[in-house]
Amino acid sequence: MNVSYRWLRDLVPGLDLDAEGVAEHLALRGAPVEEMSSPGALLGDVVVGHVLTAGKHPNADRLSLCTVDAGDGVKSVVCGAPNVKAGSWYPFAPVGAVLPGGVAIKKAKIRGEVSEGMLCSPREIGLGSDHSGILEIFGDFTPGESFVGAMGLDDVTMDVEITANRGDLLSHLGIARELASDRHGEARLPEIPGDPGIELTWKQGAPEVEAGGVRIRIDDPDLCSRFVGVVIRGVEIGPSPAWLQEQLRGAGARPINNVVDATNYLMLELGHPMHAYDLGRLAGPAIVVRRPRPGESTFTTLDEVERKITPEMLMICDGERPVGVGGVMGGLDSEVDHRTTDVLLECALFDPKSIRSTRRALGMSTDASYRFERGVDPEDIRDAVQRAVGVILATAGGRVDGPALDVCPHLFEARVVGLRLARIQQVLGVPFTAARVRELLSPLGFTFEGDGEGDLLIRVPGYRSWDVTREIDLIEEIARTHGYDAFPAELGPYRPGTVPDDPMFQLEDDLRRALVARGLFEAQTPAFVPEGEGDVRVSNPLNTQEPYMRRVVLPSLLRRVERNFSRGTKDVRLFEIATSFRRVGSGEAPAEESHLAVALTGARDAPHWSAPEQALDVWDVKGLLEDVASLAYRGSATVVPATGEPGLYEAGVTFVVRDGAGVEVGRGGRVRDGLVDAPVWAGSVWGIELKMPDEVTPVASPLYKPVPQYPAVERDLALLVPDAVPAETVLETVRRRTVELLEEATIFDVYQGEGLPLATRSVAIRLRFRAPERTLKDKEVDRVVQGVLAHLKEELGVEARG
């Protein structure tokens, strides 16, 4: 959003921050300033010129010859615009001036007459797109004074980044609250120059209200919960006064005419989009808020584009036809122009979801839809209309006809949220008193019910009703206004959680660690794909080229490989753990499965002088596939060569992964030629896609064991073991017999050959004994060893070698 620094100073008179200070303060509050600029940065050479005479050029029918007082003398100027007239004021670029775009003004002879400068159009000085005539300015000026200073273009425009949940910051008043809440003054609305101060009377009802010869009705209260209208008759459409034009230009807006500028001014100041209809063009005259009727399939908006409308969209209609797309843009047939004398001023409250879907379906975005999508203040609609009426009466004249109409089928009720002081400390780690909480939240518009010092009840203002709904939201506001940089840097005491992660999350983390250890990078790609890669269609896709949810993940990674190829990168190692979507049946939710996808190409190892570069081959991919399949399926999966249709892969170099039940759960191999747009220097592209198991056996959490304090005692045994007895069986028998004192039993040697009885082998076992609370004695260990030998002989026929 473009924010005018001068406008902020008007709203917060005590503001003691310069533009850079404001930018720093907003960044700390979560609304960083992306860029700062000045509307008049490139207009330093332009001055205010007073046209003294304007007559026909003696040698050209379409040119005028003017004399202009530029402050340093009277200049002769040849002009091609038809609207220049004597006695008026215009921006004047003298000889030597440089205009936006690098245009240098030189003294020239045009059709035999000398021209010592140029009278400028809005497009020539970057203040609009109109090039049909010279920009006439109105006010009390001095010839030769700076055009930038005279028009208030010495402002600073700040491009503030607003997050989607902070619709209240899409206005200068919302930004001003953030500044005023930190002892930089008090936010209040400035007076409107020339405001006659007429107080509106109101007529409220639902679903229809009529007054001033106009009827307003809401047929779809679920999509429009409130619609306010005021009839103003006898307005005179013309340019806005200098103060209004300055405010709009400082915020990056282009002045149009006094009535339209008034609605834009209130939108930028208070965040309430408004629209003014030419009352003489409304059938009825009436306003009906409804969906399109049969036969109403197209509508021409203010930008002169004919758009297709659907039955789900909300339209603003007169007594016969649509005159506007609700919350998005008005219609061409009812716009205010120089012929307008009576207007209907509108301010409404629309459903954000409806506005979002309509805007996407129409393929357009406006300042109004941008605000309605994020939620506007449902409480101060009347105050906003009252102020807008004041601006229109002050700049365009006229009179209010009858009471203002307020159709309100659903009255807004403010939310009250409980806040526990103990919970604040638990979340933020710092105690806050009730007084401190009031000090932080009150400047933002939050009010407190009761004067208690314990738990608090806080009323949420309307402009924050969209994002502050829970106790944790209030705690976030406290942290934000207190200042994240004001919290202590040391780590306080805390108790870690004892609830283990979901087994699937543990498995995904294990796979990530294993793949990163092999040099792969994790990617995150959108789930939206073209038609051929999915069968679950999205009802409101982000773009028409990718209207489906992906059925497999690997093609998305292959597009990332293509992007790396296009930038000259030949060694690519990517993996992604993501969700795939599969259609189940009509009316049923799609089936979702977690998949692991891997895309590889290029060299096996990083380049090094000690060895020539070797490309990845099929055995590298098979080894990686075996490792991830074993990890995912806890050793029960097998990898075998693929048979039949290879799918994405090339026949003969494709492997299939089967789980313990023999069901195919994944594939890997070389990607078929033609599936990847690869340059000639690129190597083979390899891919893997593995379905994650539906149920994952949780891994036992490691248990803490203290470091032993007492020494261990070791005994080596040489055993004659029959060939028919596995060595592991011998170890299991030893462990069962010595479960209390035995710490470890390992095989360190096996001998077969001369000197041994037939069908036997010698197995050497090392036993380590330790008691956790005392030092073992040799005699005690010897008794245990003798018992082990006796048990082995009795159970397995294993004897000690002599």
196 token code pair: 């006659």
pLDDT of 139 over the 80 cut:
no
pLDDT of 182 over the 70 cut:
no
- Which residue has tokens 């004041």? 390
> Which residues is 76 bridged to in the sheet?
67
pLDDT at residue 452 in the model: 67
pLDDT of 77 over the 80 cut:
yes
Q: Could you give the CA distance from residue 295 to residue 273 in angstroms, rounded to a whole number?
A: 29
Q: 0.75 exceeded by the pTM?
A: no
Q: What is the pLDDT of residues 590-639, one digit of tens each?
A: 999 999 999 999 999 888 888 898 999 999 999 999 999 999 998 889 99
Q: What is the pLDDT of residues 278-322, one digit of tens each?
A: 999 999 899 999 999 999 999 999 888 999 999 999 999 999 999
Q: What band does 108 get if pLDDT is binned at 50, 70 and 90?
A: very high
pLDDT of 389 over the 90 cut:
yes
Q: Over range 536-561, report the average pLDDT.
A: 91
Q: What is the pLDDT of residues 431-442, one digit of tens each?
A: 999 999 999 999
pLDDT of 254 over the 90 cut:
no
How distant, in Å, are the alpha carbons of 173, 378, 416, 451, 731 from that of 468? 18, 14, 10, 22, 64
Q: 646 preceded by cis ω (within 30°)? A: no
pLDDT at residue 796 in the model: 92
| 782-791 LR contacts (CB < 8 Å, sep 24+) | 784/738, 784/741, 785/715, 785/717, 787/737, 787/738, 788/717, 788/734, 788/737, 788/738, 789/717, 791/733, 791/737
CB 301 within 8 A of CB 323: no
Q: What is the pLDDT of residues 208-225, one digit of tens each?
A: 999 988 999 999 999 999
What percent of the chain clears pLDDT 70, i.e. is strictly above it? 99
Q: What band does 102 get if pLDDT is binned at 50, 70 and 90?
A: confident
Q: Could you give the CA distance from residue 616 to residue 229 in angstroms, rounded to a whole number?
A: 71
- What is the full DSSP assignment across 609-623? TTB---B--HHHHHH
pLDDT at residue 490 in the model: 82
Average pLDDT, the chain: 91
Q: What band does 772 get if pLDDT is binned at 50, 70 and 90?
A: confident
Q: What is the pLDDT of residues 634-660, one digit of tens each?
A: 888 999 999 888 789 999 899 999 998
Which region among 179-183, 371-375, 483-487 has the lowest average model confidence (pLDDT)?
179-183
